[in-house]
Amino acid sequence: MDNLAVFLAFLLAYLLRFNFILGDFSQQLAINHALITLSVYAAFALIFRSYSGLLRHTTVIDIFYVLISTSFSLIALLSLTILSRKAGWNENLNIPISIILIHYVTITLLLFFVRIVIKILYQIIISPSGEKKKVLIFGAGAMGVIVKRVIQSDVKSEHQIAGFLDNDKKLQGKKLNGIPVYNPQILSVDFLRNHKIDTLIFAIKDISPSEKSEIIRSALDLGLDVRETPPVDSWLNGQLQVKQIRKVKLEDLLGRDPIQLNMKRIGIGLSGKVILVTGAAGSIGSEIVRQLTRFNIKKLILLDQAETPTFELENELRTKFQNLQIQMILADVTNKYRMERIFKEFLPEIVFHAAAYKHVPVMEDNPHEAVRVNIGGTKIITDLAVKYKVRKFVMISTDKAVNPTNVMGASKRLCEMIVQMKAQTKGIKTQFVTTRFGNVLGSNGSVIPIFTRQIEEGGPITVTHPEITRYFMTIPEACQLVLEAGFMGKGGEIFVFDMGKPIKIADLAHQMIRLSGLTPDNDINILFTGLRPGEKLYEELLTQNENTLPTHHPKIKIAELERFNNHELLTKINTLLNNLYSISKQDVIEFFKLYVPEYSSTNKMYSNDSELESNHDNNILKESSLKTNL
């Protein structure tokens, strides 16, 4: 098409030059000149590939290559004519300069015009019937322009770009490719209603997580569908596609800067080591394992009692890390003979102890199991760590261990005490470290998967109390800080992580509904069910008697704790474990109350006025030498 246009435009230039009087020029010579011109233009079109752009998706770049091709052709033809005149070559090579110039202007405009007209006609033809959804793009930079182009060129797109949002004051109030650029502060209910906007797309890299989080929250509160552009390195074949513009993730609402790890310190601590991870198939344990794969580890011993998650984790690791030495072990941390065999066989040098029962309501009904697994498992693993001279022991604790109001929290607080007492025992070379943090987004059984399932089922979302709050981290955030703290500690520390600001669970439910493209209290209702037994309105990271000391990492602090009489408490814990299933639930609760002074149960079943003890239970307690003043 381009070649035909060049040929016909040249003949038109001849006619224009001679005022359409055919007798004033040789028609054969004109055709010869047209063929020479066509050869030159075709040669440069091949060189610059000005013909290769899809006409319906013509861009400024395509127009630029057309201009370059015609301009070089002009220069070549002028040079040929001048040389022909000086050298006295055949008249076929002596093309009138005026005709060359007329042709250059004509063909350049014609090629531009054809491409633009075809693009406009294509957009009109493929535009879906009905009113399009209006979209705002946050970011008027290069990525924002790419997103605009991708949306506009998509045949099936039902979106129309209504404007850009950008913090750059130099761009605000101007137009980018005919689309206005607004100040982000312009977002309001009236603005969105007047412009009929229902979607916001993030297309910006240089924005802090806190600012992004604030904008997302504001947009969700205004009822916008919020989406984001994936990183460039994840584009398919280096090209962005509309289907890759996805909904923002819940993690974006946390608004925290990425964690900077001391890779050198961690690398030195892990290099060439045999590492044991208990609870390895759980949410936290499995992510710790994934983080560990980044380092030069001699061997990973992954221990868990859950068969299916263990199987899935092994498949994942063997697929992604074929050269990594992995030993998967299906075992219970409370089986001390099995644990001893594992320590004796593999001689782990570093232990990450993540095995625990963690669900508050379940442990509230089963306090014996909280003692057996959480406390008993921790005691067995710490004893073996000392016996087999483990270099570093890192225990994963929880904010529910602070001023606990439930069985799970009280059991984890006793676990912290066991680890501290081991660290304080003279002659022990193992460095015992505890890490304490709150809820992690997306962990098994946490509020996020529950809310997701409830939304998929059409609601309602169940929240225990309108004012209940929790601290949240992402699983990778928490596990990265576990590694950092683990190799920061020298022994005996409880490291407390900066969890940011606590989040109201009701607000989280509202935001998850909006992230799903639905409307709270319209599409999905929120049902308040009341606090469950042992549940707090808010969590804490420190007790009233604890202060913190800073570390070199801004997100990690050390809790200053009182020392304990390790001999007395360890003896009592041994007696409790040996006679665990000979006593009642209330006896277990009273043990917690006695040895975790800050524990105060909110479960009416375990109140101080309870008369649940029987004479038979009291006799068993005496016979088992549990001197607890229950």
248, 271, 292 - which closes a domain: 248
Task: Report the C-alpha gap between 180 and 161 in whole angstroms.
Answer: 10
CB 38 within 8 A of CB 6: yes
The count of other CB atoms within 10 Å of the CB of residue 627 is 12
Examine the fold and report which residue of 106, 126, 146 is the final residue of a domain before the chain moves on: 126
Across the chain, mean pLDDT equals 82
Distance CA 205, CA 183 (A): 17
Q: Pairing mode, if any, of strands 197-202 and 274-278?
A: unpaired
Closest C-alpha to 294, from 328, 327, 317 = 317
Secondary structure class of 262 (helix, strand, coil): coil
CATH number at residue 142: 3.40.50.720
Q: What DSSP string runs through 198-233?
A: EEEEE--SS--HHHHHHHHHHHHHTT-EEEEPPPGG
Banded model confidence at residue 503, pLDDT cuts 50, 70, 90: confident
Identify which of 130, 112, 108 has the alpha carbon closest to the alpha carbon of residue 120.
112
- Residue 605 DSSP label: G
Range with lowest mean pLDDT among 39-48, 296-305, 438-447: 438-447
Q: Please name the residue ranges forming H helices in 88-186.
A: 97-126, 142-153
Among candidates 411, 406, 408, 434, which has minimal Cα distance to 421?
Answer: 434
Here the tokens at position 537 are: 């309105």
Give residue-wise pLDDT tens across range 22-61: 778 788 888 888 899 889 989 988 998 888 877 777 778 8
Q: What is the pLDDT of residues 579-626, one digit of tens each?
A: 999 998 899 999 998 888 888 888 777 765 443 443 344 444 443 444
**d(C-alpha 521, C-alpha 56), whole Å:** 44
284 falls within a domain: yes
Weakest-pLDDT range from 4-8, 41-45, 52-56, 455-459: 52-56
Contact indicator for 419, 488 with CB cutoff of 8 Å: no
Q: Please tell me the distance from the alpha carbon of residue 30 to that of residue 560, in angstroms, as a whole number.
A: 96
* Residue 303 pLDDT greater than 90, yes or no: yes
Contact 533, 405 (CB under 8 A): no
The DSSP letter of residue 510 is H
For 263, residues 6+ apart whose C-beta sits below 8 A from its C-beta are: none
pLDDT band at 445 (very low <50, low <70, confident <90, very high): low
Dihedral of alpha carbons 97, 100, 102, 104, sign? negative
Are both 197 and 325 inside the same structural domain? no
What does the block give as tokens for 389? 């001279």
pTM for this one? 0.67
Which is higher by pLDDT, 445 or 72? Answer: 72
Boundary-marking domain end, from 222, 248, 274: 248
Residues 293-320: what's their mean pLDDT?
90
- Average pLDDT over every residue of 301-320: 91
Residues 214 and 297 in one domain: no
Choose between 544 and 363: higher pLDDT.
Answer: 363
Phi/psi zone of residue 56: left (φ > 0), alpha (ψ -120 to 50 degrees), beta? alpha
In whole angstroms, give the CA distance from residue 25 to residue 19: 11
Mean pLDDT for the stretch of residues 233-258: 68
Residues 221 and 271 in one domain: no
One domain for residues 293 and 227: no
Same-domain check for residues 423 and 506:
yes
How does strand 392-398 pair with strand 350-353? parallel
Based on the fold, state whether residues 143 and 207 are members of the same structural domain.
Answer: yes
Q: Could you tell me the residue range of the domain that residue 117 belongs to?
A: 2-126
* Nearest to 140, CA basis, from 104, 176, 108: 176
Query: Containing H/E element for 559?
Result: strand 556-560
Tell whether 139 and 119 lie within a shared domain.
no
Residues 465 and 362 in one domain: yes
Residue 391 pLDDT class (50, 70, 90 cuts): very high
d(CA 166, CA 162): 14
Into how many domains does the chain fold? 3
Assess if residue 286 is contained within a domain: yes
- Best CA proximity match to 447, nearest among 464, 424, 426, 433: 464
Please give the angle made by the CA atoms of 28, 33 and 36, to the nearest 5 degrees.
130
629 lies in some domain: no
The Cα 540–Cα 598 span in angstroms is 12
* Band (301; pLDDT cuts 50, 70, 90): very high
Same domain flag for 379 and 267: yes
d(CA 381, CA 114): 77
Half-sphere exposure (Cβ direction) of 71: Cα atoms closer than 13 Å: 7
In a domain, 625, yes or no: no
Residue 334: helix, strand or coil by DSSP? coil
Q: Is residue 11, in this structure, part of any structural domain at all?
A: yes
Q: Do the domain assignments include residue 548?
A: yes
| Cβ within 8 Å of residue 359, ≥6 positions away | 408, 445
Residues 516 and 414 in one domain: yes
Share of the chain above pLDDT 90, in %: 21
Find the radius of gyration of the CA atoms of the chain. Answer: 36
- The neighbouring-strand residues paired with 462 are 527
- Give me the count of residues in the chain: 630
Q: What is the band of 127 on the pLDDT scale with cuts at 50, 70, 90? A: low
Q: What is the pLDDT of residue 256?
A: 66
CA dihedral for 512, 514, 516, 522, sign (positive or negative): positive
| Contact predicate 483/511, CB 8 Å | no
> Which tokens is 134 given?
């209006």
Q: Please state the rounded mean pLDDT for residues 172-194.
A: 86
Higher pLDDT, 231 or 364: 364
Instruction: Please give the pLDDT value at position 531.
Output: 80
Q: What is the mean pLDDT of residues 324-353?
A: 93
Token pair listed for 338:
């099995």
379 and 475 belong to one structural domain: yes
Is 164 inside any structural domain?
yes
Cα–Cα dist 475/287, whole Å: 7
In the block, residue with structure tokens 């549940």: 535
* Dist. CA 226–CA 192, nearest whole Å: 14
Residue 75's pLDDT band, with cuts at 50, 70 and 90, is: very high
Residue 593: inside a domain: no
Domain shared by 361 and 440, yes or no: yes
